[in-house]
Amino acid sequence: MKIISYNVNGIRSAMSKGLINFMQSENADVYCLQETKANKEQINEPFIFEAAGYKNNYWFSAEKKGYSGVALFCKNEPDHVEYGFGVPEFDNEGRIIRADYGSKSIISVYIPSGSSGEERQAFKMNWLTFFQDYINELKGKKQELIICGDYNIVHKPIDIHDPVGNKNSSGFLPEEREWLTQFMDNGFIDSFREFNKAPHQYSWWTYRAGARGNNKGWRIDYCMVAEALRNNLVDAGIMQQIVHSDHCPVWVEVK
């Protein structure tokens, strides 16, 4: 099973740049998309996904138009799809969707950014606490979790081009990094780092100052895999050459 996670920064924009051709060529079993910024009804060619082989597509959009939103595109129909947490305070931003396949659950998640100011940073930290509690409860029912998405957190200095200059930046704050460490210590594997220990491996670049061309990026997109699936891991990677967004796709393959 190959799973590709991709913050598309607007699915309609990404589609205009060849997203559908990319999805067809990679032929992943599941695509976890984030920041779709659209409802399915806003897509001019709604059946294009079915034609690409993904008739099982599930969207959880934000109440605010053109903002946030997550989706799952699945080759095989899930046993169950769960939309959001069931908590309006968080669900009105459309940040989590889950597909269950037997003992496995695949989640597409878009963790909030705190870069716009203190209020949003506080919201982000509250969201992270709630998310951890949600995952802890879910683990009691589903041991084989795969949680893919834009975490909006850099884990270690190797994962950011300028750790010194960004030490006070949202996304690289000590409390955020500590949360991610504790999240992983609670039973999750950063699948990419299981297979690739090299520096300069990023998944997001600002549009400013030619950052992508100079590879001045951040690794904030992850495919986290539960420890229960450690022996099922086959490979994982980052597709830095794919350009439909300010992010690039990340992927994991499990048996």
Q: How far apart are CA 177 and CA 163, in angstroms?
A: 12
User: Does residue 222 sit in helix, strand or coil?
Assistant: strand
Report residue 44's pLDDT band, with 50, 70 and 90 as the boundaries: confident
Nearest CA among 68, 57, 84, 61 for reference residue 35:
68
C-alpha distances in Å from residue 227, one per residue of 129, 144, 146, 174, 188? 21, 8, 10, 25, 5
Nearest CA among 223, 179, 184, 221 for reference residue 201:
221
Contacts of 170 (CB under 8 A, 6+ apart): 113, 114, 115, 121, 124, 152, 176
Q: What is the pLDDT of residue 90?
A: 96
Q: What is the pLDDT of residue 64?
A: 96
Helix (H) or strand (E) holding 131: helix 118-139
Q: What is the pLDDT of residue 241?
A: 98
Report residue 46's pLDDT band, with 50, 70 and 90 as the boundaries: confident
Task: Collect contacts of 168-172 with beta carbons under 8 A, ≥24 apart.
Answer: 169/115, 170/113, 170/114, 170/115, 170/121, 170/124, 171/113, 171/114, 171/115, 171/218, 171/220, 172/218
Instruction: Say whether pLDDT at 220 is over 80.
Output: yes
- Cβ(172)–Cβ(202) below 8 Å: no
Give 162-218 pLDDT, tens digit per residue: 999 999 999 999 999 999 999 999 999 999 999 999 999 999 999 999 999 999 999
pLDDT mean across residues, the chain: 97
**Sign of the alpha-carbon torsion through 60, 99, 80, 45:** positive
Sorted by where each begins, the domain ranges of the chain are 2-9+80-254
Provide the annotated active-site residues: 150
pTM of full prediction above 0.85: yes
Give the DSSP per-residue string, 64-100.
STTS--EEEEESS--SEEEES-S-HHHHTT--EEEEE
Q: How far apart are CA 201 and CA 218, in angstroms?
A: 8
* Residue 78: both structure tokens together: 């899930």
What do you get for the CA distance between the two ends of the chain, in Å? 6
β-sheet bridge partners, residue 221:
150
- Mean pLDDT, residues 108-119 taken together: 96
CATH class of 2-9+80-254: alpha beta
Q: What is the pLDDT of residue 17?
A: 98
Instruction: Say whether pLDDT at 226 is over 80.
Output: yes
> How far is C-alpha 207 from the chain's CA centre?
19
Strand 144-150, strand 70-74: pairing: unpaired
Q: How far apart are CA 49 and CA 193, in angstroms?
A: 31
